[in-house]
């Protein structure tokens, strides 16, 4: 199995979450990255990249098999758009996630896509 951290449209309740079913994903838990990651608004979806400060990103951890990982890779455009890489969560667990060079895009405060979407809609 492959342990994957998701932080945007693949989260439960978000518009690409059905892809987790197609990937035969199994929800493990909510999680937060270790310091050194930030979330950015790319329009209808977010992107995460490494940063040199103490920011973190909130998301979920899922298990998928090898075929499921390929489903996620196709959705994320790996390796041309997002790049799948290993990261560390705040509890020290090593997982894979999708990172992107989101330079020039607005940062998402608190590293929380769901909160950002709710507050953006109310503006």
Which residues belong to the active site? Answer: 76
Helix boundaries (H) for the chain: 18-22, 66-76, 113-122
Q: What are the residues whose beta carbons fall under 8 Å from the beta carbon of 66, sequence distance 6 or more?
A: 2
What's the CA gap between 22 and 76, in Å, rounded?
14
Distance of alpha carbon 59 from alpha carbon 36, whole angstroms: 15
């Amino acid at each position: 199995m492959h342990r994957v951290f998701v932080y945007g449209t693949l989260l439960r309740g978000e518009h690409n979450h059905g892809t987790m079913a197609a990937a035969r994903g199994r929800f493990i838990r909510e999680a937060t990255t270790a310091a050194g990651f930030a979330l950015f608004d790319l329009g209808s979806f977010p992107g995460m990249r490494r940063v040199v400060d103490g920011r973190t990103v909130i998301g979920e951890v899922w298990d998928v098999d090898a075929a499921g990982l390929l489903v996620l890779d196709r959705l994320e455009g790996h390796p041309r758009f997002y790049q799948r890489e290993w990261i560390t969560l705040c509890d020290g667990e090593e997982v894979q996630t999708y990172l992107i060079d989101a330079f020039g895009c607005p940062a998402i405060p608190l590293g929380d896509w769901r909160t950002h979407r709710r507050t953006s809609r109310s503006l």
